[in-house]
């Protein structure tokens, strides 16, 4: 069953194309802008605000036997951390989106290469080329008739 899932994943054009494409990581060699770094700092602060604060609120609610500290405080803390994250992403701007896009494509590429294995990707690509060639030839013969 796992091999069938791997074959289906390898047949999708998006994954096959990503595994065949060489991801350009040259954007990471340039020094990031100050605006981008400030945005990353805000995004990092949002993680510090989020779950640790919710854990502290849970501990306080347990210690004082007042569950409303957790029930009311946790959604508020989570909402504030989410707003800080969105603010950081907004400040990071297009540079942040570009860095994230490149990093995620690279990460997905190496993940699928490890999961699927190079042999399966090559095998499916060859089958796909054969099917494409046969369908092109069939289209040509139908047009000629």
| For residues 41-62, average pLDDT | 91
Cα-based angle 101, 109, 100 (whole degrees, multiple of 5):
15
Residue 13 domain boundaries:
2-25+32-140
User: Could you read off the pLDDT of 128-143 as tens digits, one per residue?
Assistant: 665 555 544 555 555 5
First to last CA, the chain: 43
Number of domains in the chain: 1
Phi, psi (degrees; rounded to nearest 5) at 31: -70, 130
In a domain, 145, yes or no: no
Query: Could you tell me which residue, 10 or 30, shows the higher pLDDT?
Result: 30
Nearest CA to 117 out of 2, 23, 13 is that of: 2
Query: Could you tell me which residue, 32 or 19, shows the higher pLDDT?
Result: 32
pTM check: above 0.75: no
What was the pLDDT predicted at 71?
A: 94
What was the pLDDT predicted at 122?
A: 67
User: Could you read off the pLDDT of 74-112 as tens digits, one per residue?
Assistant: 999 999 999 999 999 999 988 888 888 888 888 888 888
Length of the chain, in residues: 145
What was the pLDDT predicted at 114?
A: 82
Q: What is the DSSP letter of 28?
A: G
């Amino acid at each position: 069953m796992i091999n069938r899932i791997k074959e289906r994943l390898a047949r999708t054009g998006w994954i096959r194309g990503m595994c065949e494409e060489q991801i350009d990581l040259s954007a990471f060699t340039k020094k990031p802008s100050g605006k981008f770094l400030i945005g990353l700092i805000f995004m990092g602060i949002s993680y510090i605000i989020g779950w640790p604060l919710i854990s502290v609120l849970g501990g306080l609610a347990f210690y004082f036997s007042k569950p409303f500290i957790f029930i009311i405080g946790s959604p508020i803390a989570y909402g504030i951390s989410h707003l800080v994250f969105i603010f950081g992403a907004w400040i990071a701007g297009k540079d942040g989106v570009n860095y994230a896009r490149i990093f995620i494509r690279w990460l997905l590429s190496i993940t699928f290469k490890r999961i699927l294995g190079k042999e399966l990707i090559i095998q499916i690509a060859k089958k796909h080329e054969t099917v494409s060639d046969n369908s092109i030839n069939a289209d040509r013969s139908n047009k000629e008739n």
